[in-house]
């Protein structure tokens, strides 16, 4: 009888141990959180890569697929990636950008770099290129618009669709003093 109770106790203890290992491996909140961190770091790293380039360029970033739905929101300061875990609880990861992008959506008067140069020409009469530089006063107005946009995005971050590619574009604007001002745009089309 003593041997049977000992064997039964070992079986119960083994079952509990296997259940604990199974729950750690297959439904681990730490693993889900790390996936969200990887998505946030992926976007942030690509923005830094774009900023380090010496010329205007556009990069396409496709968010990775996942076994669960996640949402991405960006402002000029932060990226937040959120998802629901297997128990329906919402968890999120927030990462501060090292390089501050200018998120744009297609409801605004311009989105892409080429549209920005066209907007500058239509609004101020200059393209903001080395051949047709923008007066410094007009550049100050553009910076004020950017700061207003940053304030708005701090309150209402731009939602990024994870199934649609994200464009990261570096645009250079030249002022009449000969200085080059780089802007990193984030946007999606369609």
Question: Of 26-35, 49-58, 101-110, 146-155, where does mean pLDDT reach its minimum?
Answer: 26-35
Q: Provide the pLDDT confidence category of residue 103 given band limits of 50, 70 and 90.
A: very high
Cα maximum dimension of the chain: 97
DSSP class of residue 134 equals B
Question: Would you say the C-alpha torsion 8, 11, 13, 19 has a positive or negative sign?
Answer: negative
Q: Counting Cβ atoms within 10 Å, is residue 133 exposed (0-12), middle (13-18) or buried (19+)?
A: buried
- Mean pLDDT over residues 61-80, rounded? 88
Question: Would you say the C-alpha torsion 94, 164, 54, 173 has a positive or negative sign?
Answer: negative
pTM: 0.80
Q: Counting Cβ atoms within 10 Å, is residue 171 exposed (0-12), middle (13-18) or buried (19+)?
A: buried
Mean pLDDT of the chain: 87
pLDDT at 24: 58
Please report, for residues 1, 151, 183, 184, the alpha-carbon distance to residue 96 in angstroms, rounded to integers and kept in the order given. Answer: 63, 16, 18, 15
pLDDT at 166: 93
The token pair at 14 is 């083994």
Q: Where are the domains positioned within the chain?
A: 30-187
Which residues are bridge partners to 171 per DSSP? 183
């Amino acid at each position: 009888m003593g041997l049977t109770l000992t064997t039964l106790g070992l079986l119960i203890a083994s079952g509990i141990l296997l259940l604990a290992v199974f729950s750690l491996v297959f439904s681990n909140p730490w693993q889900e959180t790390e996936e969200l961190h990887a998505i946030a770091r992926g976007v942030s790293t690509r923005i830094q890569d774009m900023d380090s380039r010496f010329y205007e360029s556009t990069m396409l970033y496709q968010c990775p697929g996942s076994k669960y739905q996640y949402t991405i929101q960006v402002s000029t300061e932060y990226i937040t990636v959120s998802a629901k875990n297997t128990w329906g609880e919402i968890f999120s990861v927030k990462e501060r950008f090292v390089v501050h992008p200018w998120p744009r959506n297609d409801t605004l008067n311009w989105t892409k770099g080429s549209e920005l140069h066209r907007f500058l020409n239509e609004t101020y009469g200059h393209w903001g290129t080395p051949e047709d530089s923008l007066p410094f006063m007009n550049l100050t107005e553009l910076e004020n618009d950017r700061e207003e946009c940053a304030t708005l995005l701090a309150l209402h971050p731009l939602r990024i669709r994870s199934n649609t590619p994200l464009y990261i574009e570096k645009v250079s604007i030249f002022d009449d003093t000969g200085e080059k001002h780089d802007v990193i745009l984030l946007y999606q089309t369609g």
